[in-house]
Structure 1
Amino acid sequence: MTARLGAIHRYPVKSTRGESPSSAVVEPWGLRDDRRWALVDRDGRAVTARTHQTLLLVSARCTATGITASAAGRDDLTVPFPTGPVEPVRHFRKTMMTVPAGRSADTWFTELLDEPVRLMYQADPRTRPVDPEFGRPDDRVSLADGYPLLLASTSSLAALNAWIATGPYAAEGPMDMRRFRPNLVVDGAPAWAEDDWRRIRIGAAEFRVVKGCNRCVLTTVDPDTAARGREPLVTLAQHRQWDRSVWFASNLIPDNPGVRLTVGDELTVLESAARRRPVDAADQDN
């Protein structure tokens, strides 16, 4: 079977529900309109669904002039692109420069979370470099955790779900791909083949596959209810654990930004090389 792009997802506001357009333009720092907005607390630290699971129940969609956010039982919030002086936001001990979205947006999200927060916009993503260990000096990223895009495979998810089905928390499965919040979902590739990809082309867009994605507690939160469980981390720890982390999906950096991706585009592996393979947790050194 030929591997193809099966779905595209973008998340206008960090940690909220995403959109699934049929096509999207690749920019140097990620998909256009992906993760350019984020919430911060009173100390300027990023607020995410790792600690505020309610954000996963908020829908955010792009408009020509900004974004619109929706949540059950609340009036929609429409926010225009803000202008003004930038302010620093801290996330994972790194600084991101952003512009305040304004009082009405702050009030809407503060009431939703029952905690003082502010909505911020990354007006200039050229200011935030990726981790130099895995990127080049001119690589940039939006307000995503670390890299411009995340790619996941439906075959790898099927393999993970098969493992979960035989484990102690089988009732929590199967996992939905939304748990992993990828930008690009690939159909037709062998399970875990993405571990060894180094460079790929999807349609006319070329990417470096710079590293796997180590997964956090956010994957244990049901995207429909915001309830927290144990999976998929328990099963990933048994089958996909190395370097003291568990792994699912792969981080991408675009090499020829400006190209439009469309669902159905063919994926071609341009370069591959065996990476360190996952090992069972029982084989780890304690």
Structure 2
Amino acid sequence: MSTAYTVKEIYIYPIKSLAGINCQQAFAEEMGFQNDRRWMLLDSDNQHITQREYPILSQFYPEIADGKIRVTFKDKKHDFFIGEHLDDQIYTKVWEDKSFVFEVNKTTSKWFSDRLGFECKLVKIINSGDRRHESSRSKEIYNVSLADAYPYLLIGTKSLDFLNEKLQEKITVKRFRPNIVISTQNPHEEDDFEQFKIGEVHFKNVKPCGRCIMVNNDPQNGVVKKELLKILSKYRNFNNSVLFGINIVGLNPGIIQVGDEVVF
């Protein structure tokens, strides 16, 4: 297979379901990129909160600098240290996976509660193995972060181009919350990738990514429109799952950066 594939964009999403950060490079770890989806919001029943129920979460914008994460929502800002957390372990679930997390601090939890209008808390996953996910396809078990399922999501540029040809309102790849965007030659050819290397890191394709109603949420304004998933389902519905992009795992730690070739 040709090596004429290069990394165009890299994203991390420090807090699950909040906006992402466009990066020039990122350090790949077993659970995903460093600081990617290590935090999430829980409600008063310790259930995780996502854009599926609260599209407004897309309007919270994180930044990372000087060992802190700063979150901006409208004209309000709040920051906390990357390494801080309280001592008491909290049991929760991310979908069907048991997960152990720790609250960051009470002040941060109150800031999010005040912005969202209901009680919630910001929590962090600390250790590899505090959440384990079993692949429905291979039955392999992976140590993962607080992402929906797998450590990394990869999308090819031609897949987005092909979809945009069918949409009245064009979208950006941010709608699908990828970690890695690569230049491709044909729509959805990434589905057939097996193992490959980017920069210092070897990756393995676990399975195509099934999409949900969250892709209908426009990250520019938090407005939900149903056209996208409806159009996508007309040509990417396989066994009642609408597929776009691939879930991948990293086989070793290392750095990848924009401009790196994808080597097979």
Structure 2 residue 199 is matched with structure 1 residue 203: yes
Deviation at 1:8, TM superposition (A): 0.4
8 Å Cα contact 2:133-2:149 kept in structure 1: yes
SS class of match (1:17)? coil
Equivalent residue letter for 1:261: I
Q: Which has the higher Rg, Structure 1 or Structure 2?
A: 1
**Amino-acid identity (%):** 27
- Residue 51 of structure 1 is matched in structure 2 by 53
- Residue 260 of structure 1 is matched in structure 2 by 255
User: CA, structure 1 residues 137+237, in 2 after alignment: closer, same or farther (shift >3 Å)?
Assistant: closer
Structure 2 residue 75 is matched with structure 1 residue 73: yes
Q: Take 1:128 and 1:99, find their aligned partners in 2: how far apart are those partners?
A: 13
Q: Take 2:19 and 2:163, find their aligned partners in 1: how far apart are those partners?
A: 23
Structure 2 residue 180 is matched with structure 1 residue 184: yes
Structure 2 residue 234 is matched with structure 1 residue 238: yes
SS class of match (1:234)? helix
Q: Take 2:39 and 2:201, find their aligned partners in 1: how far apart are those partners?
A: 25
Deviation at 1:138, TM superposition (A): 5.9
Deviation at 1:183, TM superposition (A): 0.3
Out of 21, 25, 42, the residue aligned to residue 19 of structure 1 is 21
**TM-score, length basis structure 1:** 0.87
- Residue 31 of structure 1 is matched in structure 2 by 33
Deviation at 1:63, TM superposition (A): 3.5
Equivalent residue letter for 2:152: L
Structure 2 residue 165 is matched with structure 1 residue 162: yes
Structure 1, residues 133-185: CA drift from partner, whole Å, max 9, x if none? 34675621110000000001111000011122xxxxx2xx2121111000000
Q: Which runs of 5+ in 2 are unaligned?
A: none
Please list every run of at least 4 consecutive aligned residues from structure 1 whose deviation after the TM superposition is greater than 6 angstroms. none
Out of 243, 247, 256, the residue aligned to residue 247 of structure 1 is 243
Equivalent residue letter for 1:184: I
Deviation at 1:230, TM superposition (A): 1.2
Q: Could you say which structure has the higher strand fraction?
A: 2
8 Å Cα contact 2:86-2:105 kept in structure 1: no
1:95-174 correspondence to structure 2 within 5 Å: 95-134=98-137, 139-164=142-167, 170=168, 173-174=169-170
User: CA, structure 1 residues 267+189, in 2 after alignment: closer, same or farther (shift >3 Å)?
Assistant: farther
8 Å Cα contact 1:14-1:36 kept in structure 2: yes
Structure 1, residues 204-263: CA drift from partner, whole Å, max 9, x if none? 31111010111111100111110110131111111100111111010001112x210010
8 Å Cα contact 2:135-2:141 kept in structure 1: no
- Residue 190 of structure 2 is matched in structure 1 by 194
User: CA, structure 1 residues 32+158, in 2 after alignment: closer, same or farther (shift >3 Å)?
Assistant: same
Equivalent residue letter for 2:162: A
Q: Take 2:185 and 2:209, find their aligned partners in 1: how far apart are those partners?
A: 18
Q: Which runs of 5+ in 1 are unaligned?
A: 165-169, 270-286
Deviation at 1:188, TM superposition (A): 3.1
Q: Take 1:78 and 1:247, find their aligned partners in 2: how far apart are those partners?
A: 36
**TM-score, length basis structure 2:** 0.94
Structure 1, residues 45-66: CA drift from partner, whole Å, max 9, x if none? 1001111111100011224434
